[in-house]
Amino acid sequence: MSLPWRAAPDDVLASRRLANEGIGAGQAGDWEAAETFFQQAVTACPDDVRAHEHYAESLWRRGEQQAAMAELEEAISLSNGDSKQMVRLGEMHLAQGQMELAKQRAEEAIALQPQLAPAWALRGDALQALGESRLALASYHRALSYQPLFPQVQVRIAEVYLAQGRPQRALSTLDALAAQLPDGQASGQLWFTRGLALKRMERYNDAIESLLAARVRSTESVDLLYELGDAMLLAGDIAGARSVLEDAQAFDAQHPASRQLAVQFAQRAAAARQTLR
């Protein structure tokens, strides 16, 4: 009877050395070299769980989603079901629009480690994407019961409240989160969602302030530009709205809401000219 194959210590050491080289290359921003090192680490020791995990992340970063997920599945198999790796695989499923699979991975991780906050957060994200906002909210609150400061989840909760037509609850959630964070650490997404809540409450000047803060802290997006321009128009800042609207159209001329805002702007401008006659 043959014994199961096991890597010799030299193979394990070689794999770890290569993986460390890959980590160093990634930290230096050379992801092409990092991927090569991680691939070599997997080859040196095929049952090295961490090598597969690192290789998966490098593939994912390069846009090789299916290959990345296959590597992570191999890592999970070798680890006999690592709950944190299951959560990461679920996040990949979610990014691919595979909501049911994401939910399944979250629940598998929860079964192994019931107090794993990121697993509950993933379950909430999957449920929200599936249109189950009440169940999503319950999962998010469960995540917070295990990890009270979890900014990503707290912003998600505010987004659910906003979708439910509860902007005041969304605003109080975000303000409570901001109070927990060091100065300057509030994310662009927090400021963006806060701006939306204030806009829904017809506090347009406050909304503009929050959306401008989001613009400073976020990657430029047409949705942010649209919301900012719309808030400016509602607040009566015609010049500001015109400038932001031009930026939105330059960013994406086909964005439906921005095109509609352009029509509204033209109508208001025409009405103003008619009034001056």
pLDDT digits (tens, 9 = 90+) for 100-126: 999 999 999 999 999 999 999 999 999
Q: How far apart are CA 160 and CA 170, in angstroms?
A: 8
pLDDT higher than 70, residue 274:
no
Rounded to whole angstroms, what are the CA distances from 210 to 34, 182, 201, 258? 39, 17, 13, 19
CATH topology (fold) of 8-72:
1.25.40
pLDDT confidence band for 1 (50 / 70 / 90):
very low
Domain boundaries, the chain: 8-72, 219-277
CA angle 47, 14, 9 (to 5 degrees): 65
Q: How far apart are CA 64 and CA 67, in angstroms?
A: 6
Q: What is the DSSP letter of 4?
A: P
pLDDT, averaged across the chain: 90
For the residues 20-36, what does the mean pLDDT come to? 87
pLDDT at 253: 76
Q: 20: which 2 tokens?
A: 């460390």
pLDDT over 50 (residue 33): yes
Instruction: Mark out the alpha helices in the chain (DSSP H runs).
Output: 9-27, 31-44, 49-61, 65-78, 83-95, 99-112, 117-129, 133-146, 151-163, 167-180, 188-200, 204-217, 222-235, 238-251, 256-276
Q: Kindly report the pTM of this predicted structure.
A: 0.85
**How high is the pLDDT of residue 169?**
97
Average pLDDT over residues 187-205: 97
For residue 273, pLDDT beyond 90: no
> pLDDT by residue (tens digit) across 137-158?
999 999 999 999 999 999 999 9
- pLDDT for 71 equals 93
Q: Is the pLDDT of residue 228 over 70?
A: yes
For residue 16, name the pLDDT band (cuts at 50, 70, 90).
confident
Residue 68 has pLDDT above 60, yes or no: yes
Structure tokens at 222: 């047409």
Write down the pLDDT at residue 268: 65
Q: Name the residue among 207, 184, 203, 181 with its Cα closest to residue 194.
A: 207
Buried/exposed 215-250: b ≥16 CB within 10 Å, e otherwise: bebbeebbebbbbbbbbbbbbebeebbbebbebbbe
Query: What is the band of 97 on the pLDDT scale with cuts at 50, 70, 90?
Result: very high
What pLDDT score does 275 carry?
54
